[in-house]
Amino acid sequence: MAALLALAMTGFICIVMETLPAGLLPQISSGLGISQAITGQMVTAYALGSLLAAIPLTIATRGWRRRNVLLLTIVGFFIFNSITALSSHYVLTLVARFFAGVAAGLAWSLIAGYARRMVAPHQQGRALAVAMVGTPIALSLGVPLGTLMGSIVGWQTAFWIMSGLALLLIVWVIAKVPDYPGQSAHERLPLREVFTRPGVRPVLAVVIAWMLAHNMLYTYIAPFVAPAGLGERIDLVLLTFGVAALVGIWFAGMLVDKHLRATVLASLAAFALTALLFGFGARSPIVIYIGVAVWGITFGGAATLLQTALADAAGSGADVAMSMNVVAWNAAIAGGGVMGGMLLGSVGVGAFPWTLTILIAIALVIAWQARSHAFRPGVRRGGPAAVGH
């Protein structure tokens, strides 16, 4: 459990590092003497680093011992957060943010495979749920706390604190996380072979459709809830989402190993019904809070469910498949922001629920049809991924 929680802490730091500038835009723009729009590109640079580096770095480090790779990513967190805290030049800050994203991209590729190796095949889904618990905590509590911290002690101090957390995590990993060998040369599957394995592409397609819908709503949650009079209560709305996401992770941990397919289909169906509910009742605060809670539950378990399905489908190519997942996830973050922005600027937030419904319906159809290799019915049996990577 201590080792799995160290992985969860790694994910927590990744998420807070990525989103921290969004909560500190006024302070950073004032400190660096730039506009808030330009400051916002610190988030873009981070996502771009993860997007570009995840696959090549994962492939390049497949033969390395696993704990060395994990420690390398955390050392990257420390170095590039420290540079961000010290920098008084925007270009240097942007470069540091890019390489912080590079480190995070490699970390995300590593976490799922690492967690699965620590336990028996029938416990892999539950282990992954524990390792992913840092994500909803960061989304619900870490970002607001980081923003509050930055406004009280300054934005540089907020990044110094992230560096301090990285140092603590290095000690934690050395003390508690077991080491495993990398893949031998004959075990390393080519990227194309992993991508074309039955089941891998359907899971990635579901990731993109599901996360496009999620990120569109999450990115523009403030204007979306404004018609219900909740524009000033966005903190409570996000807290509701975060607590519900924690519940979702717990449910996923309980169900993933025995009912993965049913849980994925139920989560997508619940999100689709919530989108429809938003379409007809977006001006009601009660509808918003209920809908956000259901949405949070479905999102909380999503990473556990999808990464378990992807690792099972990829077998001994699971780490490479996870790097593809990082790319798909970050592309969905960027795509959700772009699509949501276009809708907001052209037809307004009223179009969001119907767009979400279409995207989730696409994901639901793909998941429903992919029962042979991607989202199999019945109890999970692990497969080659259990021991092969």
User: How big is the CA angle at 80 (ends 317 and 14), to the nearest 5 degrees?
Assistant: 50
pLDDT for 229 = 84
pLDDT for 387 = 35
Tens digit of pLDDT at every position of the chain (389 positions): 889 999 999 999 998 888 788 667 678 888 888 876 677 778 778 888 888 888 888 888 888 888 999 999 999 999 999 999 998 888 999 999 999 999 998 998 888 788 878 888 778 778 877 888 887 778 767 667 777 777 788 888 989 999 999 999 999 999 999 988 876 666 666 777 788 888 889 999 999 999 999 988 887 887 888 888 887 777 788 788 888 988 898 888 888 888 889 999 999 999 999 999 999 988 898 999 999 999 999 998 898 899 888 888 887 777 788 888 888 888 887 788 778 878 887 888 888 999 999 999 999 999 999 888 778 777 766 544 333 33
- 243: number of Cβ within 10 Å: 17
pTM over 0.95: no
First vs last C-alpha separation in the chain: 20
Sequence letter at residue 7: L
Decide if 48 contacts 98 (C-beta within 8 A).
Answer: yes
Decide if 108 contacts 14 (C-beta within 8 A).
Answer: yes
pLDDT for 364 = 95
Structural domains in the chain, sorted by start: 2-182 (1.20.1250.20), 191-388 (1.20.1250.20)
- 76: number of Cβ within 10 Å: 19
pLDDT for 5 = 92
For residue 377, what is the DSSP state? Answer: S
What does the block give as tokens for 212? 């496009």
Decide if 140 contacts 243 (C-beta within 8 A).
Answer: yes
Cα separation, 291 vs 221, in Å, equals 12
Query: For residue 91, which phi and psi values (nearest 5 degrees)?
Result: -65, -45
Angle subtended by helix axes 318-346 and 352-369, to nearest 10: 150
